[in-house]
Each structure stands twice: as C-alpha cells, then as structure tokens.
C-alpha cells in the first residue's frame, strides 16, 4: 500500500478498529492541509468472550449494532454534505490477504479469536452485510491493518515516521520501504518510490527465540499451536498467562501458597496482563496492592511478604524479556532501512520516529520504558539520539479514517 502525502483530505469520516478484546468506533472531521483533524470522537466497546469463538454473523452483527448506535450520537459539529453516504475505514488487525484497498480475505485468526466460517471470506463483505442488516447506510472505502493505519496516522502528523509498531493484545509492525528493495514487487513503481510493508511479525518463529517450558506448554494448549510464537512471548494477551503458569508451578513444587494449590490459579488466563502490570508497579513497602491482587485473582487471603516479592520478581522477569524482544524487533527494522547507525559520510543522522500504539505500550510503564532503554542500548548513544519512540494514541483509528478519506468515492467531486 502506498501512503498519500497529500494531507488535504477533508470531510467527515468514520473508522472501526477491530483487533483485540475491545473494538473502537471513531469519527473525525478532517479540515484539509491547514486544520488537519478538526474534531474527533470515539467510543470503546468490549467484545463478550463468547463472540470471540462464535459465528461471524453474531460477531459482525454485534459490531454493526454498536457502530449504528455511535452514528446516532453524531452532533452538529460534524458535517456530512447532503446526499452523501457515510464512509468508513475498517482497521482489521488479523492476517489478511488484501485483494484491493477495500477488500481482503481472512488468512487465520489470532489473539484468542476463533470465529467459525470466516477463514477465506472477505471481511469487508461480512461487515457490509451486517451494516445492511442494521439499516446503517455506510460504505467501507478502505480496509487497513492496525499497523498500516498507525503508520498512515503517524506520517500524517509527522513526516519523519518510518515505522509503526503495535504492542497491545497482539503485536505487529509496518514500515516504509524503498520499492526497489522489495524482491516480491512486480509492475510499475509507485510515484513516491516508497511502499508500506506490513511485516505480520507476530508470526515470527525461530530456534533462537528463548522459549521456556511455560511458553511451550502455553503454545501447545492454545487455539493456534505452533503459530504466532513471537507474539506469545511479548504481547498483552499472553504475558499474564506466562506469570500464572510460573506461579502454578511454584505452588505445586514449592508450596508457594501453602499446602493446598489454589484452585483459581489452575484456570488458564485468570491472571490478565493489566493485573500483572498493577502487581509489577506496586512500590509500597509491604506490596499491599500486590497482596490484594493475589487475594482477588488467586483467592489466597494472606500472603507473606516473601511470596509477594517473589511474585513481583516473576512479573519483572516476564515483562523484561518481552520488552527486550520487542525492542530487538524494532531495531531489526531500523537496521533494514539503514537508520541504525550514523551515515558513513559523516553527515547528520536524519530524525527517525517510531509510532507506537497499543494498550500494553501505553499503560504498562515498566514494559514501555524497558523497550525504550533496550533500543537505546542496541543503537548506541549517538544513533539513538536521533531515534524517537512516540506514542501514537489511537493512531490506527485516525489512519483508517484518513485512508478512507483518500480513497473516498467522492474524491473526484471535491
């Protein structure tokens, strides 16, 4: 996909961002080159767990109903010209075989989703049919992966953005590559000479990845064994579960929680990454917050200070490993595009911005600061002074709305 450099898109556009346990609906009023994003509003909706493993009709009907409800709240600050259909950029953060700017077939589900009857189907068609069933008159003009959306949104705000990385429920990265460096490329080169590469790096696997017995067992019991290995080491869907498995092993082998193994601790995914983050960030002298979390999640009312410290240490190890592996991925992209060291001719290194999005990066501060510190270590002091990690909050939503605008059916009319 080529990124537009125009920046003069204007009008009202919607975006739907589906990529994890929540989805987001968003509307933006674009004001062209001068005003950029005039106004934006969004709403986040949780997906009931049963819909993540149900049928495509149930899932898309639920999403389209939420979207229709959101459209009903459109205020007077947003202006849709008379006689025009609302247009939507659809961010769909699962591996897709993209067949055009507004169509693509699902390759496989990831991140705990396993919806029946969707693999090989066009995701835009499924959403469009659900919107019709809701009586919602809206056209999907762009299908976007979240990393590509974040890259488009980041680039719109800052032209030095070279890559976008998602660290949330799942993980992925996209970057801007010189078209002549793409072996798979056939046909005419794009005008800009650049192309966006969606790496789908979550599915990376290698013998060099440091898999522990806990990772191997979790992978074996997952909905997609042998797949998304890199993602299973570093993303928000899995970090808390790795901690739970370590705690369970210690409960069995070392009576960590006393003579009886807490039955709640036997439940897969009972310990979520936000809980892990809260335990990890507890800086009180007696780790009171951590103790309260263990009581809520594991059902152990009284834990000794030693048990709390051990638990926090486990959170620290799992988060640090994930963050360092994520930083290694970012470094590999910088190396690929030649932004990992100072130019040989002695000229100044260009400013290089990485747009980062996702709840894990945004909310888990010890994780995100470890990503940044590791990146600095890998780059070295001189090169790292030109590299900026920038939180692109909801970058993928804005990016999807922008791409919907730049591919609007009314683009020729304006």
pLDDT tens by residue, 175-231: 988 776 777 666 666 666 677 888 999 999 999 999 999 999 999 999 889 999 999
Burial tier of 239 (Cβ tally within 10 Å: 0-12, 13-18, 19+)? buried
- Give me 197's structure tokens: 């590469």
Catalytic residue at 347?
no
Dihedral angle, C-alpha 200, 205, 210, 216, nearest 10 °: 110
Which residues of 236-377 form beta strands (DSSP E)? 352-357
CB 55, CB 116: distance < 8 Å: yes
Starting from the edge strand earliest in sequence, which strands make up the sheet with 10-18, in order? 37-46, 22-31, 10-18, 86-92, 138-144
Catalytic residue, from 17, 27, 56, 93: name it. 93
Q: Taking residues 231-241, what's their average pLDDT?
A: 97
Band (4; pLDDT cuts 50, 70, 90): very low
Task: Check residue 414 and give its pLDDT.
Answer: 44
Residue by residue, DSSP assigns 193-247 as SEEEEE--GGG---TTS---HHHHHHHHTSSSTTS-HHHHHHSTTTHHHHHHHHH
> CB-based contacts of 103: which residues, under 8 Å, 6+ apart?
122, 124, 125, 143
State yes or no: is 146 an active-site residue.
yes
The DSSP bridge pattern shows strands 96-100 and 86-92 to be unpaired
Average pLDDT of 385-396?
85
Write the pLDDT tens digit of every residue in 326-379.
Answer: 999 999 999 999 999 888 777 788 999 999 998 899 999 999 999 999 999 999
| pLDDT over 70 at 5, yes or no | no
Give residue 2's pLDDT band: very low, low, confident or very high (50, 70, 90). very low
Select which of 122, 146, 357, 394 is catalytic.
146
């Amino acid at each position: 996909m080529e990124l537009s450099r125009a920046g003069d898109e204007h009008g009202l556009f919607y975006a739907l961002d589906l990529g994890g346990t929540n989805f987001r609906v968003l509307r933006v009023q674009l004001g062209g080159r001068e005003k950029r994003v005039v106004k934006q509003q969004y709403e986040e909706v949780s997906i009931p767990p049963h819909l993540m493993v149900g049928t495509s009709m149930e899932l898309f009907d639920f999403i389209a109903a939420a979207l229709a409800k959101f459209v009903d709240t459109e205020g007077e600050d947003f202006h849709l010209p008379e006689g025009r259909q609302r247009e939507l950029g659809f961010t769909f953060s699962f591996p897709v075989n993209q067949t055009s700017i507004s169509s693509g077939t699902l390759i496989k589900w990831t991140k705990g989703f396993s919806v029946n009857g969707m693999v090989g189907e066009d995701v835009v068609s499924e959403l469009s049919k659900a919107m019709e069933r809701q009586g919602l008159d809206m056209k999907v003009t762009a299908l976007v992966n979240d990393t590509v959306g974040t890259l488009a949104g980041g680039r719109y705000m800052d032209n030095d953005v070279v890559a976008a990385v998602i660290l949330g429920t799942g993980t992925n990265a996209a970057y801007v590559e010189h078209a002549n460096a793409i072996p798979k490329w056939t046909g005419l080169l794009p005008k800009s000479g650049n192309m966006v590469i969606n790496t789908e790096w979550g599915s990376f696997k290698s013998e060099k990845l440091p898999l522990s017995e806990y990772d191997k067992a979790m992978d074996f019991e997952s909905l997609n064994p042998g797949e998304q290995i890199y993602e299973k080491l570093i993303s928000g869907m899995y970090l808390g579960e790795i901690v739970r498995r370590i705690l369970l092993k210690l409960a069995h082998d070392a009576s960590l929680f006393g003579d009886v193994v807490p039955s709640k601790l036997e439940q897969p995914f009972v310990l979520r990454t936000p809980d892990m983050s809260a335990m990890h960030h507890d800086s009180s002298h007696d780790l009171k917050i951590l103790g309260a979390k263990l009581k809520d999640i594991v059902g152990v009312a009284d834990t000794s200070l030693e048990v709390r410290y051990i638990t926090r240490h486990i959170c620290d190890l799992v988060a640090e490993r994930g963050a360092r592996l994520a930083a290694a991925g970012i470094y590999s992209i910088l190396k690929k595009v030649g932004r990992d060291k100072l130019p040989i001719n002695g000229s100044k290194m260009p400013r290089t911005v990485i747009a980062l999005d996702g709840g894990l990066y945004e909310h888990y501060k010890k994780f995100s600061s470890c990503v940044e510190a590791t990146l600095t270590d890998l780059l070295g002091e001189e090169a790292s002074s030109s590299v900026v990690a920038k939180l692109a909050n909801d970058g993928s939503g804005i990016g999807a709305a922008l791409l919907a605008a730049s591919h609007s059916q009314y683009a020729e009319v304006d």
